[in-house]
Every structure is written in structure tokens, then in C-alpha cells.
Amino acid sequence: MKKLIALLLAVCMVACLFAGCGEKETEEPTTTAAPTTEEPTETLPTEEPTTASTSEEKEPVTLTFWQAGGDTVGASSIMRLLLDKFELMYPWITVDYQAIPWSQDPHTQFQTAIAGGDCADVLVLGSPLDFQLAGEGNLLPLDDLLSEEVKATLSEVLLNNCVYSGNDNPDMQGKLMSLPLYGGTRAMLYNKEIFDFFGVEYPTEGMSHADLLEMAKKLTGDMNGKKVYGLGTRATTSEQYLNFVWNYGAKIIDPATMTPGTDSEEWKKGIEDYMAFFEAGVTPEGAATMDGTALLQMFVNGECAMFIAAVDYAQAIIAEPVEEGQIAWADKLGVAPLVGETYATCYCGADVVSVPATTENVEEAGLLLSYLMGAEAQAIYCKNVGFFPGNTEAAADSFFADDPIQAGFAATMQGAHYFDNYGVPGVGTILKEEIQKLIAGECTIEEYQEAVTSRINEKIAEMNA
């Protein structure tokens, strides 16, 4: 257990900011991965590839490339290996690469650099910061920079969120503002041993909110002298309940009008469904303020039957040793899509690649984009760092398709839904603080909605001032 908690503490320290990713200071990370110290699962060639791109007539170009994050163990070194190969393919290009840890607030650094006209040529950033930058006219449209061959292989689900749909920049409307370097979703992790003990069938696709509640009630009780809760959830991050409101079609912010959707009847119904789990007593005590590591510990201890989490948590659980005679986690951990009878969504985030409008190396930036989004580079990066590829050919690799945990999360991608704050700052904090008040009984649901909506409107007004 000490090994597991230390591992997750490291992950949480690395990614303590997001989500979706545009709001790293308050939300869970868009995509997280279990740190690894293993050698790359695929090696990169050291010889110079034979390509038509090695023309000696090209003038030398230094391409600056900044990556927000990249501080998951091994991430920046794998990226550097990929860039070394890119430089062999295009010998007139030198890539000046820098990974900026989330703890150093890279998004603010990027925005400051853009404002000063001294930004990198290519950026990896957390969505939806790309939406904000595109609306301000600070990003180039990428439609003509990416090769059609590579474009055809990209995940439609992830790519849809990279198309600008705001009203602030008509010239960018309907165009690609970014490309999905990698993504990640949330799924329902469950302990098969607990389900078997209580004689409850495993969760399946197409369950309603009410079905999940009844299941959680049956799974709450005593198991060999230990108190078990049906659903491990926490109100310290909106990833735990946003799918409930999204399933009804509610939005945090409507991008067409840039107004909150938190005062809608759909939002109310979703929150009422989520609150029903607390009211039924099937969630752990203190869940309103519990952090991810504490909840994970309860799940591993057999105190929670189900647990909404990202793939990094699943990977850490699988790696956790068990005592002799106990069932290995590889045999008792299940992964299921989040619930939704007719429309099942799940919290999704992506780190994306964008090109600032200030770049003078447009052609070279396009070459790097096509390379990073290619199947080979995507497979190598995601296998070693732990994310889900934005390239469908890479995602079809047996590493993702045949592994039950990876495949379980891959199945959730069809319901992927991004943290839709559309660049409005502070939304994650607002959602967390106000739902904690609701759970604590300090307000009615109507008062909760009024407070959330009012505070988001204030943030929108500040942003537009």
C-alpha cells in the first residue's frame, strides 16, 4: 500500500493543476499516467532515415517547441528521443525542446510569451486553453499544415474538440486550432470480488443513473467485518459528477452565447441524481472533501466497490501486490463505461498541439505536427508515457486493443466530453466549492445553481473587461 500511495502522490503532485486541462490549478489533470522507469517499449532508429527531405538546399532552421507538463516520469525523455528522429528525417531543422512542469504554471508562461511576441513555434498545451488562444487570434489554423494522410488517421472524437466554434474570432470559425496529441477519459473501476460477495452483477453499458444507485445500495454493507461503500466518489473534482449533468445535455458554458448553462433544468436533474448517492449513504464519509489518493486507498483496501477514475489509477492498482492467497488485482479489477441510459458521457481531457500566430517557421512547424501525429510517434509516446493516442492506427495496436484495462478505457472514448469552460478562468474552483456546500446541507439545490451561475457570470465579465 505504501508503494501505491507514494506512486499516486507523485502523480498528483505532478498534475495538481486542471482537464480537462485548461484549468490546471483547480481541476484534475486532463490526462494522467502512472510513472514508469522502464525502457521504451519500442526503440527508435539511430541511423539517418532515407527520405526526400534531406535536401542540402534548405537553410538551417531552429524550431522552438514548448510542452506544458511533460513531467510524468519518462515523458520528456521519450519526447526528446522522438525529436531526435525527427531531426534525422529533416536535417536542416534543429528542435529546441523544453518541457515546463505543471508546478511552474506553463499556461501562464505561454500567454505571457505570446503577449510579448516571443513565444515558441509549437506548443503542447492543455485543452481548452487552445479555445481561449484561438478566440484571441493567437493561434494559426492548422488545416493546411497537416498532411492529409495523417489527418485521415486522427481520432474523430478527439479531433472534434480541436475545431474552433466560438464567436470571438470569425476567421478561425470551423478551423483546426489544435491537434490531439493524446487524450484520456474517466471510467468506472470496480472490484469484482466485492460484487461476487454481495451477489451483484457487474456494471454494463446502458445502465441508467437509477440503476447505478440501486447497484450501489446493494454493494453497501459489511464484508467480512469491513464496511463497504457502493460508490467511491468525491466532490473535490467535477470529473466525478459532470457526466450526470452532461447526460441530460447540460453545459457548463454555452460556447455560442458564452453564458452559463448551470441554471438549466437539465443541470438540476443531473445534480439531483448525483446527490441521491450521498442521500442514500452509499458514499464514503467525508467524500465531499476527500482527495483522490485517500479514495484510491479505500478502494484498494476493499472499502469501495466502485470508483470513478482515470487509467493511471487503474494501472497503479493492477501493479499493487496482494497478500498470499488473495485474488490478484489483474483478476478482480473491472473497467466499465460510466452510466447513461440513452446518452452516456464521460469526462475527457486532451493535451493538444498548437502553433502560435507569431511563428516565422510555419512550414517546419507543419512538418513537426505531421510527424508527432503519425502512428509510429503516437504509439511510442503513449505506450511509454501512458496516454491514449490521438491517432487511430496507433490506438489499434494490440497494446491498447487487447489489454483489458486499456480496452476498457478505449471503449469510453465514444462518450468523451471535455471540460467545457471555454477559457473562462476559475470555473473548476466554483464548481468544487458550491457543490461541497450543497452536500454539506448549507444550501438548497436552487441556491446552489444560483450561486454557481452568478459566480461564473462574474468570471465571464472579468474576462471580457
For the residues of 20-78, what is the DSSP string, one character each? Answer: -STTTTTSPPSS------SPPSSPPP-SPP--TT--TTSPPEEEEEEEE---STTHHHH
Please provide residue 51's backbone torsions phi and psi, each rounded to the nearest 5 degrees.
Answer: -135, 170
- Calpha distance 169→138 (Å, rounded): 10
Residue in 398, 409, 369 with CA at minimum distance from that of residue 154: 369
Task: Based on the fold, state whether residues 362 and 249 are members of the same structural domain.
Answer: no
The phi, psi pair for 28, rounded to 5°, reads -60, 155
Q: Are residues 284 and 147 in the same domain?
A: no
Contact 327, 345 (CB under 8 A): no
Residue 266 and residue 126 in one domain: no
Residue position matching grid coordinates 466554483: 430
Same domain? 296 vs 166: no
Q: Indicate if 115 and 67 belong to the same structural domain.
A: yes
Task: Report CA Rg, the chain.
Answer: 22
Q: Is residue 328 part of a domain?
A: no
308/314 Cα distance (integer angstroms)? 10
Nearest to 116 by CA among 138, 94, 99: 138
- In angstroms, the CA 343 to CA 60 distance is 52
CA atoms of 224 and 25, how far apart (whole Å): 41
Q: Which domain holds residue 129?
A: 2-184+350-398
User: What is the pLDDT, as a whole number, of residue 343?
Assistant: 67
Containing 2, the helix (H) or strand (E) segment is: helix 2-14
Residues 165 and 200 in one domain: no
How far is Cα 106 from Cα 100, in angstroms, rounded to an integer?
6
Q: Is residue 160 part of a domain?
A: yes
- Exposure of 140 by Cβ count < 10 A (0-12 exposed, 13-18 middle, 19+ buried)? buried
Q: Are strands 93-100 and 61-68 parallel, antiparallel or unpaired?
A: parallel
Alpha-carbon distance of 346 to 324, in angstroms, equals 36
Q: Is residue 409 part of a domain?
A: no
Q: Give this prediction's pTM.
A: 0.74
Could you tell me if residue 104 is inside a domain?
A: yes
- Give domain status of residue 128, yes or no: yes
Asked if residue 69 and residue 32 are part of one domain, the reply reads yes
Residue 284 and residue 307 in contact, taking contact as beta carbons nearer than 8 Å: no
d(CA 321, CA 329): 8
In contact, 248 and 270? CB cutoff 8 Å: yes
d(CA 187, CA 26): 20
- What tens-digit pLDDT sequence spans the chain (465 residues)? 444 444 444 444 333 333 334 343 333 334 433 334 344 555 554 444 445 445 567 899 999 999 998 666 678 999 999 999 999 999 999 999 999 988 788 988 999 999 999 999 999 998 778 988 999 999 999 999 988 888 899 988 788 889 998 778 999 999 999 999 888 888 899 999 999 999 999 998 888 999 999 999 999 999 999 999 999 998 888 888 999 999 999 999 988 888 999 999 999 999 999 999 999 999 999 998 888 889 999 999 999 999 998 887 888 898 888 888 899 999 999 998 888 766 677 788 788 999 999 999 999 999 999 999 999 999 999 888 777 898 999 988 988 888 888 888 887 877 778 788 777 878 988 999 999 999 999 999 999 999 999 999 999 998 887
**42 and 84 co-located in one domain:** yes
Three cell numbers, residue 101: 512542469
pLDDT score for 55:
52
Total Cβ atoms within 10 A of residue 261: 18
Domain match, 69 and 110 both: yes
CATH number of the structural domain spanning residue 444: 3.40.190.10
Nearest to 382 by CA among 180, 125, 186: 180
**Number of domains comprising the chain:** 2
Asked whether the beta carbons of 240 and 234 are under 8 A apart, the reply is yes
Helix-then-strand count for the chain, H and E = 20, 14
Q: Copy the grid coordinates of residue 56.
A: 542540402
Residue 348 pairs with which residues in a beta bridge? 185, 418
Distance between CA atoms of 110 and 356, rounded to whole angstroms?
Answer: 10
* Residue 315 within any structural domain of the chain: no
Does residue 179 sit in the same domain as residue 246? no
List of residues 6+ apart from 285 with CB closer than 8 A: none
Asked if 446 and 393 sit in the same domain, the reply is no
Residue 314 lies in a domain: no
- Separation CA 445–CA 428 (nearest Å): 18
Residue with cell 467525508: 286
- Scanning 136-285, the segments in alpha helix (DSSP H) are 148-151, 156-160, 192-198, 209-218, 242-246, 265-279
- Which residues partner with 154 through β-bridges? 391
Residue 279 lies in a domain: yes
Same structural domain, 66 and 169: yes
* Contact present, 69 and 124 (Cβ < 8 Å): yes
Distance CA 322, CA 303 (A): 15
